[in-house]
Structure 1
Amino acid sequence: MRKIAKQHDEKVEVEFTSIGEHVGIGSVTLSSFLGPLVREHVPVLLDDWRHLSDQTRDTLWEEIQGRFNLTEDWQKDCVFKQMGCVWRASKSKLTAKVRAVKSKAQLLKLKPSNIESVSAWNAWVKNRHQCLQGNK
């Protein structure tokens, strides 16, 4: 990811199909970029991707536009849809890890860096365990 463009004239080109899916080498680079970007900026504490704040949405789009040649609204929609899927998958993986851990110390180690409040993290963990209880 270090090779991703940091200057305007070095932006990565991303090709799209006629149905709006990105393809090719630029697509692979974009997909690889989106996972860490979403995990860095969007906390798992968010209940619903559609409730993402405008400020976070703008930050994500600026980061993407700074490195990829994407300017159209339909491209933005396509990329945000993918980021929503990445966010849900990341949240599900973290939930599985949380449910497998037995000690509070291990749970604290799993806390993502973008969650500052330990009490908010503990409440989310408790909720994950209650969801498990409710599914039995």
Structure 2
Amino acid sequence: MGTKRYLNYSDCRFLSVLSKAQALHCGEIRIIHWSILNLLGLDPKLLAQVLNTSSGRCWSSDTYNPVPGVMQGVPSDNKYQGGFVTSLMAKDFGLAQDAATATKSPVFLGSIAHQMYRNMCSRGYSQKDFSSVFQFLREEEGL
């Protein structure tokens, strides 16, 4: 039972960081669907403040922000050094995927996240903190 709880908790926490990294990334460079993020070039610190005073507030926006320069004392402020490395993230998502397959449970977002973190590992991110997904998304855009 402990392993199931850990995998469930990990899935939720890591998907939260992934979604915030993508939202914050999109807020910097293009208009996306959320009206709050429709401002091009919005300062990442201001965007974090807006998220943290709305229903978008969560652990990855107010405690472990993936955007460099927004918070002090987190891996994103230290070139993604320290924290929980991407290779372990990929491993945990793999375990969650195995459990989901064994129980015939659909975990669509977990599958996408697992694929993304495996891709990050193959592209040199394996020893960086998992919040480096923000930087990975920027590089995918050519920024």
Which TM-score applies when normalising by structure 1?
Answer: 0.30
- The structure with the larger Rg is 1
TM-score, with normalisation over the residues of structure 2?
A: 0.29
